[in-house]
Amino acid sequence: MLFSARAATNQDLRKLFYKGFGCHHAGMLRPDRKLAERCFSIGATRVLICTATLAWGVNLPAHTVIIKGTQVYNPDRGGHVDLSMLDVMQIFGRAGRPQFDTSGEAIMITSAESLPRYLGMLQSQAPMESQFIGRLADHLNAEIVSGTVTNIAEASAWFSYTFCYVRMLRNPLAYGITWDEKEADPMLHDRRQRLLETAAQTLDDTRMCRFDRRSGNLAVTDLGRTASHYYILHESVDIYNELLRPHMTEAEIFEAICHSKEFENIKVRDDEP
């Protein structure tokens, strides 16, 4: 928790606050976070110790930013991974804001194994790769609902306009495409069709659309339309199909909703009922 000269009970924290040190992290109560940000912005605290959440949504310009350690926990992989280059640049962007300072310094402290990777990304500007395939089913459902895609052929044409397709042509190995496959099918027609058929079959299995594999036709369903309008992931819809029943208690409904994939990274704080 944030410590202040008025409310702190821990003498060590009280002494640190008087010497200009503060802290900021996502687990703090909202009033404490606001107070930590205000104390730093007005200069009451000269050093603010933060977690990786500083990278997003916190407007805290500073003269010097130090990243101590680049390992962060990733719940999708069930372990620690290196901080992404986008997060690093977001955190470094807090240093030397033009409206607040004339110069800034950014320092990174990382392991010897990770150092070449970050140096390469900072100096060589490695190209960005698409993560579109991981959410292809949901985006395809949105196109089906809007009426712009009614069959696999139209879906393949739609996919050809995406950044993902451009990167697949430029860097096929990053997307699991061998050079032999690229040489045999330069425009990746077969790969596009397989990806879209797999996505369409996933939507059909979750009853978000109707997919006729023989004709390639795609038809929207009420469930798919609802999921598209409210940005519900197809994994969540699959969970609802399994858990929801015609007659359920309020507790059972809340339990089903809490299994939604959208909520897997949300942490409930003490001040939020």
| 33 and 152 inside one domain | no
pLDDT score for 32: 81
Q: Is 200 helix (H, G, I), strand (E, B) or coil?
A: helix
Residue 114 lies in a domain: yes
Residue 272 lies in a domain: no
What is the number of other CB atoms lying within 10 angstroms of the CB of residue 155?
Answer: 25
Domain boundaries, position 177: 132-263
pLDDT score for 251: 92
Two structure tokens written together for 260: 């939604």
| 100 and 47 inside one domain | yes
pLDDT score for 8: 42
* Ranges of the chain with pLDDT below 50: 1-9
Q: Is 92 helix (H, G, I), strand (E, B) or coil?
A: helix
Query: In 3D, which of 19, 26, 22 has the Cα closest to residue 3?
Result: 22
| 105 and 150 inside one domain | no
pLDDT score for 4: 42
Residue 51 lies in a domain: yes
Which of these three, 124, 155, 178, is where a domain ends?
124
| 102 and 171 inside one domain | no
User: Which CATH number fits the domain that encloses residue 54?
Assistant: 3.40.50.300
| 53 and 159 inside one domain | no
| 240 and 158 inside one domain | yes
Long-range contacts of 226-234 (CB under 8 A, 24+ apart): 227/138, 227/141, 228/141, 228/142, 228/145, 228/146, 229/145, 232/260, 232/262, 233/138, 233/260, 233/261, 233/262, 234/137, 234/138, 234/141, 234/202, 234/203, 234/206, 234/208
| 188 and 77 inside one domain | no
User: Which CATH number fits the domain that encloses residue 170?
Assistant: 1.10.10.10
Which of these three, 124, 155, 183, is where a domain ends?
124
Residue 33 lies in a domain: yes
- pTM value surpassing 0.85: no
